[in-house]
Amino acid sequence: MKRNILLNPGPATTTDTVKQAQVVPDICPREKEFGQVMENISAGLLKIVHADQKKYAAVLFCGSGTLCMDVCVNSLVPQEKKILFVNNGAYSARAVDIAKAYGLDYIDLAFPVDGLPDLDAVEAALAADENIAVVYTTHQETGTGILNPIREIGALAHKHGAVFVVDTTSTLAMLPIDIEQENIDFCMASAQKGIQAMTGLSFVIGRTDIIEASKDYPLRSYYCNLFMQYDYFRQNGQMHFTPPVQTIYSVQQALQEYFAEGEQAKWQRHQAAMAEVHAELKKMGFREVIPREIQSGLVVAVAYPETANWDFDRVHDYCYEKGFTIYPGKMQNKGTFRLCVLGAINAEDIKAFFNVFRQACSIENENL
């Protein structure tokens, strides 16, 4: 099978064995056998974040990572309470849009997209409003590659009696996470990026006591309600509605491969790939937009070269024809593109990419 190297922020490159795991005999998803597959997946997800199975649950949903952003925002805010968004990028801004769509009472504590949130401002916002019940932020803002200080934000949330929710879509199963050490009450992701499965399954990992308390909160969504999905699986061993059957078999295989590789070895692989990205960008004279000390090590935002000849689309298309995908940036008023090391790739793949990237830049008269 042709292997494409995806350096976009997801979906990411997968192994052939994960792809092939989808080719299974047809099965009704209401069979006990299939329910056991999902139960095993949930247990594996808890293990990835070192969660106590007596205190946390992994709740599976059919959809993209954004679906579980929706789930957390609409399900976890009690009546007449507020949600505070610590927002320094496009993905926390998306969560703000979800709150707007539901008519929730919210505070958008917005910061510049090229820096970290101000923790003093976060604490001041919490101290000023006792109605804040939930604090929400994004672990890695994938538009910039900034890694946010979630442990510190979570400590502030807990100090003021709020639940802490983190979008870990682009860090989970790559950057090691211990859910309790990081002060996380709820996190979410899709099964595609770090886990390296196929698209179509997402999940929320969260405290069961809070999930069970949320049954008395306003029902703002029927399909995307956290308690309803959790409770239905607990009672029936099934998703409330039809799951993505073949995708789930790919997740089962991807989890086996994750644990076979190991948490630390996998993170070291991602780090080695990003080290190669940094080295090659420096050789070519490209400028990284975000200071290295606040980068995640998984995504780098690169400034367009200051020349009239640069054409990102043509460079992208040349690389794409050679089996490599790069992706435009997500920073307003700044011309950037992104290189990401999220999937089943390694440092050798990055070296191969830069051989092609140099050719593309040379053709564009960008021999930097």
Tokens for 157? 């949330």
Q: What is the largest CA-CA distance in the chain?
A: 63
Tokens for 195? 């886990």
Instruction: Please answer whether residues 268 and 40 qualify as being in contact, where contact means their C-beta atoms are separated by less than 8 angstroms.
Output: no
296 Cβ neighbours under 8 A, 6+ residues apart: 140, 145, 146, 147, 170, 171, 175
Count of C-beta atoms within a 10 Å radius of residue 332: 8
φ, ψ for residue 67 (rounded to 5)? -60, -40
Residues 176, 358: Cα–Cα separation, whole Å: 33
**Buried-state track 205-218, b at ≥16 Cβ within 10 A, e below 16:** bbbbebbeebeebe
Instruction: Please answer whether residues 113 and 86 qualify as being in contact, where contact means their C-beta atoms are separated by less than 8 angstroms.
Output: no
Task: Determine if residue 338 is labeled as part of a ligand binding site.
Answer: yes
Residues 164, 76: Cα–Cα separation, whole Å: 10
**Residues contributing to the annotated binding site:** 338
**Residues contributing to the annotated binding site for substrate:** 338
